[in-house]
Structure 1
Amino acid sequence: MPDAPDAPNAAPNAPTPNAPSEPPVIEPQDHRDLRAAVSALGARYGREYFAAVARDGQQTDELWTEAAKLGYLGVNLPTEYGGGGCGITELSIVLEELGAAGCPLLMMVVSPAICGTVIARFGTTEQKQQWLPGLADGSRKMAFGITEPDAGSNSHRITTTARRDPATGDWLLTGRKVFVSGVDIADATLIVGRTEDARTGRLKACLFIVPRDTPGFSRNRIDMELAAPEKQFELVLDDVRLPADALVGGGPSHAGGGEDAGLLQLFAGLNPERIMTAAFALGMGRYALAKAVDYARTRTVWKAPIGAHQAIAHPLAQVHIEIELARLMTQKAAHLYDAGDDMAAGEAANMAKYAAAEAAAHAVDQAVHTLGGNGLTREYGLASMITASRVARIAPVSREMILNFVSHQSLGLPKSY
């Protein structure tokens, strides 16, 4: 079979191929419109704004506020509480496009996606009324605490425990959490703890809403080699006293299940977390690739731009392919989750997070390599992304743990632990 001709020769009247930053044509028009609108918002701020805010130790308050006013932050939350009534599909589009513009909002992963979803699905009426309107309009934020120093990826080793005060019915929460994003700017933190099952004596997962200024709830900032507005914290909970209604879902008789539904609540939040992390990584990868492609088109050392040389062009083409494949898996995961298929969404969300994280790391690495020395300058805005691009490979779950999940759950292979 002869070699296939280049596209321009095969179809001289074909439209110009999509640039790396353009949305896929398979999306419905309303999603493409959403992408375009959010992209325009991101372009008004851009990487320089984001880098300056991070460098000065400030927050992206202006962008957060404007995104909230436009309805983007609460697009996944119920309309009766001020949200857009859509799903994680739309919320992930918002985060991806902001990231592609160079100014991702990490707290979107935590506040509306994890905490907003858990409360919307399992919270009591009072919890929904208290928290969802503020999460939807951006006036309130929530953080999420699950990782512990001695537990890591093993949620069964979580030692943060809650016990009842028999005299008052209050909860007393004790434990430690690490790598919790944005506690200093969050009104409350959704803490994953464990309570003792009265029937079996075993510990089971429960989720608690802990307001920021609750006595006994302290935080210590973790010094990170990461240029980001959102800071990381270690939390210490020393007999933190919480009212009975701090438990997500209330009592066992409530539809949210309270003490008996903690594990279900937890995974209802973790799947959106993985999907949104994938969107975060996709935006980062697209931004880096766009920078590299622009440079390769314009940088001339010999007779032609460096992008004419296959040693430069082919790695960038490979990155573009990887990003597009990861985006398709992210869309699949989001659609499955929004359709209520939690089991299938769990597999797809892990795969999407894995694929997007790998694509982003490769994109940033290749972008820096394409620019050479300029890739390490502040002017081009890629150097700080070298560290940031590894975040999605590590958090919220490592690539190795995702491979464990796929090998066990998808392929049926035995566990080694």
Structure 2
Amino acid sequence: MSAQPMFFSPLVDTADHHRELRESVAKLVGKFGRKYYQQCVKSGEEPVELWRALGEAGFLGVHISEEHGGSGGGIGDYNVVIEECAAQGCPLLSLVINSITAPIIAAHGSPEMKAEWLPGIANGTKKICFAITEPDAGSNTHKVKTGIVSNGDGFVLNGSKYWTSGIDVSDAVMIVARDPEMETGDGRSALSLFLLPTSAPGLSYQPIDAAVMTPEKQFTTFYDDIQLDASMLIGTRGAGLKQVFVGLNPERVAAAAINNGISRFALDKAAQYARDRSVWKTPIGQHQGVAHPLAEAYINVQAARLLNARAAQLYDQGEDAAEAANMAKFAGAEASLKALDQAIQTHGGNGLSYEYGLADLWFIARLHKTAPVSREMILNHVAQHSLGLPKSY
């Protein structure tokens, strides 16, 4: 495929430099492409070469300040990077994790923590995974059981987390822990946030056998009497949930960016196939039964991309981006599943062949209909906060 499909409108680029950034990322990632990503998945290996190239080019740190080794841009820039990687057939979930951890450290980390971790995130030499979900605590974070108790100048951590992505290749895990000593008795859990080296004694993990075909592996993680130094605390003790929200809107933008990129990849492949494939001497794209569903999918994808660009813009301007980010993630997931399904259908039987690079994208696209926040919880948020309807849960 071409590095930058010409039939996709540049309307989503909300800053003058976004088009140049988009072209640069596409050129770099296009050298690796879909086959490279598929081979990484097949072999069970991380896309080390691609990650290193992205770091050396400065693309992993576009949303990190220049003071800490980044480009000094924002989530709007990072949205471009993530989407363009996926549009070249390389939907990297690790990029989503960086959208959570880097903003949280930048906003609430100590000067020493920022100096130690942000430059490495920016150049790709350090990775941090994120642990919040538990088997019995998904959307309701107040049900988190993994917790800490004070121990002299530090803490002791015990518990387990679920769906921790990439801890096997991470240098540290950002963990959300219940802090009972900080609770006020109002029925809401106090949470504290820590940055724990993955080499810490007492930390172990086991893989989850998942359908998602990505290089990043998913794990259940266990924390057994782990000693936490006070320097590992991020921000204010007991204010962890509030601090986590600094990373949740960027996470939604990043998840939507992956799906929007998948949509672009799928529609580019489908349009090319519909132009080239002839049945009874007629290109199949000449038939409205093929053309109209692809055109409708394109419209939905463009709407999702515009909404996501706006969500990122609001976040970077310091405005409330919760509504836009949630809706963007919802729209991106819905649009990508329809675009990918229609692209597979356009290819007929070839759409189910890994050779064409579509079928194995399905569960990555489907993932973001459920995570990092389910479509039902997004609808709850919009119903309550946008429409003023009574809370339903």
Query: What is the TM-score when the length of structure 2 is the normalising length?
Result: 0.96
Cα distance in structure 2, aligned partners of 1:273 and 1:405: 16
In the alignment, does 2:94 pair up with 1:100? no
Q: Deviations over 1:298-329 (max 9, x none)?
A: 10002320001111000000110011000111
Question: Is the 1:197–1:203 Cα contact (8 Å) retained in structure 2?
Answer: no
Bigger shift: residues 227-236 or 387-396: 387-396
Larger deviation: 203-212 or 41-50? 203-212
Matched letter for residue 350 of structure 2: N
Is 1:42 the counterpart of 2:26 in the alignment? no
The 1-side partners of 2:86 and 2:161 are apart by 27
The match for 1:219 is 205
2:179, 2:238 within 8 Å by CA — same for their partners in 1? no
Instruction: Give yes or no for contact 2:12–2:309 (8 Å, CA) kept in 1.
Output: no
User: How does 1:225-240 map onto structure 2 within 5 Å?
Assistant: 225-240=211-226
Which of these residues, 176, 191, 207, is aligned with residue 193 of structure 2? 207
Instruction: Give the corresponding residue for 2:255.
Output: 277
Name the structure 2 match of 1:253: none
Q: What residue number does 2:119 align with?
A: 133
Which residue type is aligned with residue 127 of structure 2? K
Shift of residue 263 of structure 1? 2.2
Q: Which residue of 1 aligns with 2:274?
A: 296
2:73 corresponds, among 54, 69, 86, to 86
Distance change in 2, residues 1:312/1:217 (3 Å): same
- Say whether residues 1:62 and 2:40 are aligned partners: no
272, 282, 294: which one aligns with 1:316: 294
Deviation at residue 389 of structure 1 after TM alignment: 1.7
| Pair 1:335–1:28, CA change in 2 (3 A) | closer
After superposition, give the CA deviation of every residue in 1:213-269 in whole Å (9 maximum; x if it has no partner). 1111111100112211000000111121110111102xxxxxxxx114322211001
Q: 1:72 aligns with which of 12, 37, 59?
A: 59
* Correspondence for 2:333: 357
* Residue in structure 1 matching 2:342, options 358, 363, 366: 366
In 2, Cα distance between the equivalents of 1:415 and 1:80?
A: 43
Aligned residues: 387
What runs of 5+ residues in structure 1 fail to find an aligned partner? 1-17, 250-257
**1:60 CA drift (Å):** 0.6
Q: Distance in 2 between matches of 1:180 and 1:297?
A: 42
Q: In the alignment, which of 337, 342, 360 is matched to residue 384 of structure 1? A: 360
Identity level (%): 48
Q: Is the 8 A contact 2:102 2:118 kept in 1?
A: yes
8 Å CA contact 1:21–1:287 kept in 2: the answer is no
Does residue 174 (structure 1) correspond to residue 158 (structure 2)? The answer is yes
> What is the CA–CA distance in structure 1 between the aligned matches of 2:238 and 2:147, rounded to whole Å?
15
What is the letter of the counterpart of residue 336 of structure 2?
A
What's the secondary structure of 2:61's corresponding residue?
coil
Match of 1:160 among 140, 143, 146: 146
**RMSD between superposed Cα atoms in Å:** 1.4
How far apart are 1:293 and its partner, in Å? 0.6
Whole-Å separation in 1 of the counterparts to 2:217 and 2:230: 30
Shift of 1:197: 4.6
- Aligned residue for 1:404, secondary structure, equals helix
1:236 partner SS: strand
The letter of the residue matching 2:167 is: V
Residue among 137, 161, 165 paired with 1:151: 137
Supply the distance in 2 between the matched residues of 1:129 and 1:388 (Cα, whole angstroms): 33
Q: Which moved more, 1:314-323 or 1:152-161?
A: 152-161
Whole-angstrom CA distance in 2 between matches of 1:412 and 1:240: 44
Partner Cα distance (1:326, 1:287) in 2: 15
Contact kept? 1:21, 1:100, Cα under 8 Å: no
TM-score, normalised with respect to structure 1: 0.90
- 1:205 positional shift: 1.7
Separation of aligned partners in 1, 2:74 and 2:304? 19
AA aligned to 1:110 is: I
Q: What is the distance in 2 between the residues matched to 1:68 and 1:281?
A: 22
d(CA) in 1 for partners of 2:215, 2:13: 34
- Cα distance change on mapping 1:336 and 1:25 into 2, 3 Å: closer
Could you list the runs of 5+ residues in structure 2 that have no partner in the other structure?
none
Taking the aligned partners of 1:26 and 1:282, their CA distance within structure 2 comes to 14
Shift of 1:23: 3.1
Query: Within the alignment, does 1:331 sit opposite 2:331 as a pair?
Result: no
The CA distance in 1 between the partners of 2:101 and 2:232, in whole Å, is: 14
What does residue range 388-403 of structure 1 map to in structure 2 within 5 Å?
Answer: 388-403=364-379
The one-character-per-residue Cα deviations of 1:271-307 (angstroms, maximum 9, x if unpaired) are 1110100001101111011111100011000232000
* SS of structure 1 residue aligned to 2:278: coil
Matched position secondary structure for 1:86: coil
Residue number among 376, 383, 389 corresponding to 1:407 in the alignment: 383
What's 1:375 paired with?
A: 351
Structure-2 residue corresponding to 1:4: none
